């Protein structure tokens, strides 16, 4: 599979992330829409691939870059007794996900390192966890994969 589009990157992250038994929910959208996705009272971890509004999808002569923000959230108990566990477990999940993506034999590289950033009471919805930004360096597709009008005639 040639990784040259945002759709393929999200699919790749999803197919890798759902292999973790702790991850029971996966979604993707603009970061501003994450609250519509993560407002249920589930007790398990969720992975959300956010398309940051300020993201840059750079087109260069020989490569393209696509940046996404990957969140891993867990539900905070009312007494907050599980906060350290959520932050620790979500950090481990994101670290493993990064390593697995980096080891895949696909048509991309991950640019540099990714710093994991903790989040507390994310979306004011009793969620905690971590996120990082991943920048994929991808080979450009030689010809656009979206069919042109003349292809339908």
Please give the backbone phi and psi of residue 131, each rounded to the nearest 5 degrees, phi first: -145, 165
pLDDT of residue 3: 64
Distances (CA, A) of 102 to 94, 109, 112, 153: 12, 7, 11, 42
pLDDT of residue 115: 93
pLDDT of residue 66: 86
pLDDT of residue 102: 87
pLDDT of residue 129: 94
pLDDT of residue 31: 85
- Predicted TM-score (pTM) of this structure: 0.83
10-residue mean pLDDT series, the chain (153 residues)? 75 90 89 75 82 72 84 90 94 93 81 90 80 86 60 57
3-state SS string for the chain: CCCCCHHHHHHHHHHHHCCCCCEEEEEEEEHHHHHHHCCCCCCCEEEEEEECCCCCCEECCCCEEEEEEEEEEEECCCCCCCHHHHHHHHHHHHHHHHHHHHHCCCCEEECCCCCCEEEEEECCCCEEEEEEEEEEEECCCCCCCCCCHHHHC
Residue with tokens 């990784």: 3
Under 8 Å between Cβ of 22 and 1: no
Q: 41 pairs with which residues across the strands?
A: none
Please give the backbone phi and psi of residue 51, each rounded to the nearest 5 degrees, phi first: -95, 100
pLDDT of residue 59: 73
- Token digits for 35? 């609250």
pLDDT of residue 1: 46
- Token digits for 113? 């390192």
């Amino acid at each position: 599979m040639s990784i040259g589009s945002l759709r393929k990157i999200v699919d790749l992250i999803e197919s890798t992330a759902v292999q973790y038994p702790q991850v029971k929910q996966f979604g993707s959208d603009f970061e501003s829409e994450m609250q519509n996705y993560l407002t249920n009272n589930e007790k398990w971890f969720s992975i959300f691939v956010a398309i940051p509004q300020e993201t840059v999808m750079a087109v260069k002569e020989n490569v393209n870059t696509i940046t996404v923000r990957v969140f891993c959230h867990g539900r905070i108990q009312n007494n907050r007794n599980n906060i350290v566990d959520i932050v620790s477990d979500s950090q481990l999940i994101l670290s493993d996900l990064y390593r697995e993506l980096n080891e895949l034999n696909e048509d991309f590289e991950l640019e540099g390192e990714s710093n994991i950033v903790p989040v507390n009471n994310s979306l004011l919805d009793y969620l905690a966890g971590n996120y990082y930004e991943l920048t994929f360096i991808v080979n450009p597709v030689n010809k656009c994969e979206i069919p042109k009008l003349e292809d339908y005639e």
